[in-house]
Amino acid sequence: MANLVITPHRQRISSVPEALMVKDLNPGKIFVFGSLDVAQYFMHNNSVGRHFVKYVKNILACGCDGIKMIEGKPDIRRKVPIPDFDLEAWEPFWAYAEKIGLPIIWHVNDPEEFWNIDLIPTWAKNQGWYYGKETINNETQYTQVLHVLERHPNLKIIFAHFFFMSAQLPRLAALFEKYPNIRVDLTPGIEMYVNLSKTKEASVAFFQKYQDRILYGTDIGARCVIADDCQGINLTESANRAAIVRDFITKSDEVVIKADGNFLIGMDDFTLRGLGLSTPIQKKIFFENFINLVSEKPKVVVPRLVINECRRIKFMINIMSMINKEIVADYSAANTVIRYFKTRKS
């Protein structure tokens, strides 16, 4: 089984219907966490929360199982006018998410060295991920998120990439103690594995204590989030991602991970020191924690509603292409999904 986490697409606005088509083609195997409607940041900036409630109700009815938020990535906040998360503009959404127990995977911040010109890795700088004074500070964004949690302590949130606190385990532990429904996942950010390998004894103790709060993840396909010209998933990189996460959880020996000069590893080799966790803890991390949070079975896709969502997306693509001349209207994906659901056998 797999969980597809969806982020907005620059030209097609939303890839949620495509993910739901994949889900429908693989019954009982695929969960989908849909992205929020990025157009609302441009059209209703001061009331996004109210519009997101309506939108989320719609995509859950279509067959989504939860929500993926890339909105906390600083590079996204440079490109999209996202209101601060603790403003009133968001409040209806947080209240609704807490009320229904909506599972959310939320990317908040990036590695802290991305704000330091002397420490940021070359590969990250080449991606445009150096964050100067013009970009929201990571601690400012943590403060916003904590304000949200203080108001809505029962939110069910999985913070992607270990909440970028792999070098601050006591801080993350304190948050776990205060907010019982928050979790983290193990999607690389390779800096996470560098940091946790440096403090293996403390890392093992942390994973043992919070074994119910840590989820497996790989970020396979993540390159396509940052590249408009993505030609598809790199199978070699995908296999390497999964292997690093699995080896870290299951093995107890040391493995030298060779630099790839690229998006996953970067420019420097590093020694991965596996935690060698027990089989029961491995099972929790690999699947039980996700199932316990979300559901044992994925929701069923409702074709009629997905077709309606595709038509809405085509309308929004047209509007956004008029608002932003850099957006070239691309209806191909929506048309493909409509065609699939109209012709598929019941």
Measured between alpha carbons, how far is 310 from 166 in angstroms, rounded to an integer?
A: 39
- Report yes or no: 44 and 77 within 8 Å, Cβ to Cβ: no
> Model pTM?
0.92
Question: Number of helices (H) and strands (E), helices first, in the chain?
Answer: 16, 9
pLDDT of 230 strictly over 60 = no
The pLDDT score that the predictor gives to residue 203 is 95
Q: All domains of the chain, ordered by start, with CATH? A: 2-233+277-343 (3.20.20)
Buried b (16+ CB within 10 A) or exposed e, 46-76: ebbbbbbbebbebbbebbbbbbbbbbbbbbb
Measured between alpha carbons, how far is 55 from 30 in angstroms, rounded to an integer?
A: 21
The pLDDT score that the predictor gives to residue 265 is 60
Scanning 63-199, the segments in alpha helix (DSSP H) are 74-79, 91-100, 122-126, 138-151, 169-178, 190-198
CA dihedral (235, 290, 151, 53) positive or negative: positive
Highest mean pLDDT, choosing among 121-130, 245-254, 301-310, 318-327: 301-310
- The residue that leads in pLDDT, 124 or 50, is 50
Short-list 307, 297, 290, 337, CA closest to 62: 307
Interval 254-276: pLDDT, tens: 877 766 655 556 556 777 889 99
**Residue 116's pLDDT band (cuts 50, 70, 90):** confident
Angle, helices 200-209/169-178, rounded to nearest 10 degrees: 10
The pLDDT score that the predictor gives to residue 223 is 57
The pLDDT score that the predictor gives to residue 267 is 57
pLDDT above 90 covers what percent of the chain? 66
Q: What is the mean pLDDT of residues 155-162?
A: 97
- Report yes or no: 38 and 67 within 8 Å, Cβ to Cβ: no
Structure-block tokens of residue 93: 């959404």
Angle, helices 190-198/235-250, rounded to nearest 10 degrees: 20
Structure-block tokens of residue 67: 């929500």
The pLDDT score that the predictor gives to residue 227 is 45
pLDDT of 89 strictly over 90 = yes
SS3 of residue 55 by DSSP: helix
Other residues' Cβ atoms within 10 Å of the Cβ of residue 261: 12
**Residue 345's pLDDT band (cuts 50, 70, 90):** low
